[in-house]
Chain A
């Protein structure tokens, strides 16, 4: 079946409102061949869950196992840089399949259990308080710049034992790394700059932790090298990965969630009545309603049939969280933001063996921020409704979110 839907996923209207576009695909052609980018677009909740839980059919080594050129297309003179990107991405533990993935995940998994991360809650609370103290008297802030961006940087940098003055530089590098999900044909030099900068920055930190291991997360990764599970390059790449993964996704949760509350005053009123009690389920609904990550990719390891289509071995398969989380066959009134929704089996963190390692940390940060906003700035308002999003198919990222109170 050929869909009437156009195949350019980077047009301004698709970036502004992915829900209309991917929702229409979900209704018309849930396993859709995107001819423009030569990949499958999977949009139903049950197909996403099935796909992510059949990791043996869908490889996560999407760079290593994919000999095809970059998409969207890049400048021909940047093909060498693309090879660098492939090697870099290919060493991330999330881009491995079993059995290697399991060995790698075991090195880091214990650091991120709900129990271990609960111990970080007081640190998160203190960080949120400091950030809100700094803007309170001004009567305004850009949620993105003043709260959502610095908070995860503070937390991750603390976990990694990164010196305070370096934190703005890390953010700068992270912004370059975000070009991984973008479509500009000249994006490779910026992206590889970010990758090389990260490797250069974390190298001495890793050297030091190999010498003097501590309780921090870099020491945990470095222990994987001592056990023979990670190569040095893999330790460096995964340190950078965790720095990045903990940033952008959390920023998006905090900004998109705050925006959802702005757009739904009735739900904001509910949160204000009992911030501490309501924050947990509310954060789940923020994760579902306007998910931080829009889509993720796999490569078929063999011919697979899904919803009447045959996906061929080596085909690229992109699954859209932002569509699955609005699937009416899974969620009652899926386009309604309902902070008491339960059960809420959203796939904002994916599913299966690759389910987001940092999910609990993101949850703690979301809960503490929404709670604190409701307690301290109950009457805040958005400056204007003209919102812009980054042109990425991976991330649902606002460019800014200015609000005021008083």
Chain B
């Protein structure tokens, strides 16, 4: 079974570039301010989530292992 992730978006950094929505559309959604929010950390595969995080131009996406707390990105 896939491990559980904790996914956050730092809103001091997020510029609403929205590429994360493209890479992991079931996890990230833009809010009313057009900044990204991780609405469902289990919505897409870990691979897709990490791809979204790596492709964020601001490195605003933080991905952690929910059980161990290990930071997977950045």
Contacts and interface: CB of A to CB of B under 8 A. Distances in A.
B17 A345 contact: no
B55 A345 contact: no
Given A112-B57, A113-B54, A352 B12 contact: no
A52 B12 CA distance: 17
12 contacts: A109-B55, A113-B56, A114-B58, A343-B12, A350-B15, A352-B15, A352-B17, A352-B18, A353-B16, A355-B15, A357-B57, A360-B57
Interface string A9-50: 000000000000000000000000000000000000000000
A350 B17 CA distance: 10
Contacts of B16: 52-53, 351-353, 355
Contacts of A54: 34
Chain B contact residues: helix, strand, loop or mixed: loop
A68 interface: no
B12 A345 contact: yes
Nearest to A54: B34
Interface of B: 12, 15-19, 22, 33-34, 54-59, 74
Interface residues of A, number: 23
A353 B17 contact: yes
Interface of A: 52-54, 102, 105-106, 109-110, 112-115, 343, 345, 349-353, 355, 357, 359-360
Contacts of B55: 109-110, 113
B57 A359 contact: yes
Nearest to B33: A53
Nearest to A350: B15
Nearest to A351: B15
Nearest to A343: B12
A102 B15 contact: no
B57 A102 contact: no
B50 to A, nearest CB: 11
A102 B22 contact: yes
Residue among B15, B34, B54 facing the most chain A CB atoms (10 A cut-off): B15
Contact of A352 (B22, B34, B56, B74): B34
Contacts of A359: 57
Contact of A115 (B34, B54, B58): B54
A353 B19 CA distance: 8
A105 B57 CA distance: 12
Contacts of A105: 19
